A and B are shown apart, each in its own frame.
Chain A
Amino acid sequence: MIGMDEKLSFFKNGVRLDGRRPDELRPIKIEVGVLARADGSCYMEMGDNKVIAAVYGPREVHPRHLQEATRAIVRYRYNMASFSVEERKRPGPDRRSNEVSKVSREALEPVILTSYFPKSVVDVFVEVLQADAGTRTAGINAASVALADAGIPMKSLISSCAAGKVDGEIVLDPMKIEDNLGEADVPIAMTPNGDITLLQMDGRLTPEEFRKALTMAKAGCEQIYEIQRKVLVDRYSSMDEPESCDEVEGLSEEEI
């Protein structure tokens, strides 16, 4: 660890330890439809974060008492693999992952048209395979793409990313060392229109710094949105145009 007398620096010649500018995202990789058993799925890397999201549903609700008569419920489970962090994580839900699950669910729920599927449930599972700060944002990004892949009606996709403060400066998408030793972390999630569905803050920021962090994180979300959209569109780019099909009627004349 760094001693008190040592002046630690997160910047060298104006760039960060991994060579990024303060307002630069880590490299992002997204794959859609990676799981055959799930209705929708997505694998995502944001820097050294590796997450996989699986969506099931709409399907019947079990246990029954959770069912809502007029709308679908959304369940979101965020889980970290025991090997996702340096020191083995005790498997299973804990206080932190319960909280992350709740805020992530609330980040996605506003865009899902739950009224289309009364008495059903949409299950979202997010597994963190490797963590490097910002796993909840990576999870929300992956879950949003997986929901689209599952054919769930949504008003828009959701993009999410964080801004932080290190060495007195606001940076976009902090990596592990910046998050652990930095002064603040502000994860947000938003729609492409700029409506914010998640806003958290850990640490201390002045109002000006907070505004700057928010602007920066929003710009990051816009970049992520373009990647999410491109991945989904490119998946079917081999095709040109579908042959139009009539509405289905009168299927079989023969009897059994």
Chain B
Amino acid sequence: MDRMDRNVVVPGDLLSDDPKKAGEGTYVKDGKVCSLLYGMASSYKDKVRVIPLAGKYVPSPGDTVVGTVQDIVFSNWIVNINSPYEGLLHISELPRKIEMNEMSRYLRIGSSVMIRVKDVDSTMKVELTLNDRRLGILTRGRVAEISPTRVPRLIGKGGSMINMLKKELNCNIFVGQNGRIWVDGNDDDMDLALKTILIIEKEAHTTGLTDRILEFLRVEKEARS
């Protein structure tokens, strides 16, 4: 029984007899590729992979995420990145040089930041950086949270979903890899944006979602005007 291609699979389901096809979310046992996760199996670049339906965010270098400052310790900020592992932002990773006694003036406990994962070592020490023009402290807007497994859907193929949302909602939206989303715009637009994001999270596994969301936004906007 070949339980492959865009099917819901559970851990242990046989996906393929060709060990070369083992992709993300799978493992090989006795020359057979089996699923590691409860999720959707699909073919991707002649590999079989399983996209999970739930799960936690595990940081990997290069990810851009939205975090909240949890604590300030000796020359480091401890940043919650919605993950089992906390992030460390060293004082030297800021775009400009600041003194240690100024730390809490620049980033207070509770501040939200758009931040990049610089490095993750084998002990899961997560180093963060703010040293990029596209990163920075979030002083306006709102932050929503969805399951990190739904992030690819919210962005869509080649950014189709997210670009549509930005255009239709007249908001600036940033989707962090950790499932935190920063939205900035006027209050009514942000309300609608957060509502839409939650719908996308709930219906991430259905087909024709981008079109349905577009329709939903048109109806909502009509009702508003």
Contacts and interface: CB of A to CB of B under 8 A. Distances in A.
Contacts of A120: 84-85
B56 A57 contact: yes
B56 A238 contact: no
Nearest to B25: A153
B6 A155 contact: no
B175 interface: yes
Interface in B3-32: 6-12, 25, 27, 29
A157 interface: yes
Interface in B71-102: 84-86
A148 to B, nearest CB: 4
Contact of B158 (A111, A117, A246): A246
Given A151-B54, A151-B56, A245-B156, A156 B12 contact: yes
Nearest to B210: A243
Nearest to A72: B84
Contacts of B123: 69, 118-119
Contacts of A238: 206
A211 interface: no
A111 B84 CA distance: 21
Contacts of A256: 114, 136-140, 184
Interface stretch (A43-51, A75-83, A228-236): A228-236
B37 interface: yes
Given A156-B12, A242-B40, A256-B114, A251 B155 contact: yes
Nearest to B136: A256
Nearest to A193: B12
Contacts, number: 157
B94 to A, nearest CB: 15
Nearest to B7: A233
A252 B134 contact: yes
Contacts of B51: 242
B190 interface: no
B69 to A, nearest CB: 16
Interface string B189-216: 0000000000000001111111000000
A232 B152 contact: no
B42 A148 contact: no
Interface string A49-62: 00000000111100
Interface in A94-145: 111, 113, 116-120
Contacts of A251: 64, 155, 159, 162, 174-176
A246 B156 CA distance: 7
A118 B54 contact: no
A247 B152 CA distance: 7
A125 B42 CA distance: 32
Given A60-B84, A248-B152, A39 B56 contact: yes
Most chain B Cβ neighbours within 10 Å, of A39, A151, A241:
A151
A242 to B, nearest CB: 5
Interface string B117-134: 000001110000000011
A212 to B, nearest CB: 27
Interface of A: 39-40, 57-60, 69, 111, 113, 116-120, 148-157, 191-193, 228-229, 232-233, 235-248, 250-256
14 contacts: A60-B84, A69-B123, A113-B36, A118-B124, A119-B85, A120-B85, A148-B11, A153-B25, A155-B12, A240-B207, A242-B204, A245-B155, A248-B152, A248-B175
Interface of B: 6-12, 25, 27, 29, 34, 36-40, 42, 44, 51-56, 58, 64, 84-86, 114, 122-124, 133-134, 136-140, 149, 151-153, 155-159, 162, 172-177, 184, 204-210
